[in-house]
Each structure stands twice: as C-alpha cells, then as structure tokens.
Amino acid sequence: MPTLLITGAAGQVGTALRPLLREHYDLRLFDRREPADPAANEQVMVGDLCDPASVARAVEGVDAILHLACVHGPAIRFDATVQPNYHATLYLLEAAQRFGVKRFLFASSHHVLGQYRGDAAARFDDLPPAPDGYYGISKVFGEAACAGYALRGGPAAFVIRIGNADAQVADARRLRMWVSTRDLARLVRIGLEHPDVRNEVVYGVSDSPQPMFANTRARELGYRPQDNAGDCKAADYLDHDAMHPTASGRDHVGGVYAASPLAPVLPEA
C-alpha cells in the first residue's frame, strides 16, 4: 500500500481519521507526542515540524502527505503562529518536492472566510479570502504556498477547507458546515487518488439542511457525502436564537473567531 504521512496525527482530526485511512494506506504518524494505539501498519515518529531535520526524516520515503498539524485559537497571537503554521508548512512542501512526494493534502479551514456574515450570500465558495484572525491568515498563506509549489512542479496540492469536525453538531452556525469523519476520510481519499488533482480547493463538509458551501469542485471530483448534519445534532444543540448574539459570533462564518479582537502586533507606544 502507498505510505501516507499524517502530521498532527495525535490530534482530534488525525486520531479520528486513522482507522478509516489505514485500511487503504500504510500510515506514518508524526506529532510532538506519541499517537495512541498504533496499528501494525502505522509507524510512529515523534518530532517537531519547526525543525527542518525532523521534517526531512518524516517526509523521506512517503508517497503522500496529509498536513493537519497547526496551532489555532481565537485569541492566538501572530508570533505564536509563525513557526508552526508558516515555517513548518514551507519545510514540508520543500521536503515533499525534494523527495518526490506525489500528493500534498493541506487541512485548511472555513476560517479563511470567517469575517463574512453568514447571511452575506447563499454560498461562500467563490468569495475571496476574509480571514477572521491570525489562524485564518496562516491558512490563507498555507493555501497559497501549496498552489505555488504545485504549479512549479512540486506535489499535486489538494486543499480541504474543513468546516466543523466535532463528533456532533453543537449549534446552528456549525450545522451549516459540519463534517463527519467518514465524509472527511472520503475527501482525503479523493485528494490522494483522483487522477485529475493538480491544484484543488474543496470544502470539508457533509450535507446540511442549509449548507454554507456548495462544494461544487468536490462533487465534480466524485465526492458524495454519506452524512447529514441535521441528523447529528448534540443533545444540547443551540438553535440560532439561543446563541449569544455577539459573543458566539453566530452571524459570521468564523463564529467566535470573528467575534474576538486581534491581539496587537506592534509594540505599545
């Protein structure tokens, strides 16, 4: 089987995806801490993506990369994102090109569009980026870096703008962008296997009663969601009126990220 490197393999999304992906690929699991319960075809590598030598060791010998690792949070400062979200992504892309990796899947986020109001348009797929914070800005950078390498002869790039990947749907905003683990795994497999992938951006979303993203390109590539967010509401699900009108960011794509102030970059005068 092909070997797939997963960065951030001990995180929430990586942990959830592993059982579905290891049926089709040998997995190399890379994280700063050891992922739990590795299977027979899962190789564990503990290291730091901010270290170019660690990145080179992780990438050498794999066929494809699924880059999930990042730092995030609504109150995160810009300087906290520079090494793990900018430098690490470039280290991985350069190593992928150096070692002849065929596919590079980048876990982007709906936060690249987070500043748009939820009622601004029926669909947001074709709008220009409007990131809601330093995390979203770093994802815009990552998408651009993937395109730059892919179109310069590097690995084919497949960007997945993940909506909400929690186990259940928490509220009305997330209802419009939720994705199940098996639907996300299906998108990953399309990104790894579809022959037409060169430089693509799709959305990591399942079906929804009121979808925020049409996800046209994913459907053109054969994506057919198996799950609907309306069937996966949490017991304490909040409808729109029950959400705090400002603190929750309910009326923006990015939710609380859009409602949070940016930490200053300039030193105080």
Residues annotated as catalytic are: 135
Q: Cβ neighbours of residue 184 under 8 Å, at least 6 residues apart?
A: 13, 16, 17, 160, 162, 165, 204
Start-to-end Cα distance in the chain? 58
How large is the average pLDDT for residues 234-252? 96
Kindly report the CATH number assigned to the domain that includes residue 237.
3.40.50.720
pLDDT in tens, 12-24: 999 999 999 999 9
pLDDT in tens, 155-214: 999 999 999 999 999 999 999 999 999 999 999 999 999 999 999 999 999 999 999 999
Residue 174 lies in a domain: yes
Name the residue range of residue 54's domain: 3-259
Residue 38 lies in a domain: yes
Could you give the percent of the chain with pLDDT greater than 70? 99
Residue 267 lies in a domain: no
How large is the average pLDDT for residues 135-143? 98
Residue 113 lies in a domain: yes
Residue 68 lies in a domain: yes
**Are β-strands 42-46 and 156-162 bridged in parallel, bridged antiparallel, or unpaired?**
unpaired
Q: What domain count does the chain have?
A: 1
Residue 264 lies in a domain: no
pLDDT in tens, 32-77: 999 999 999 999 999 999 999 999 999 999 999 999 999 999 999 9
Residue 265 lies in a domain: no
Query: Mean of the per-residue pLDDT values for the chain?
Result: 96
Residue 137 lies in a domain: yes
Residue 184 tokens, joined: 């996300």
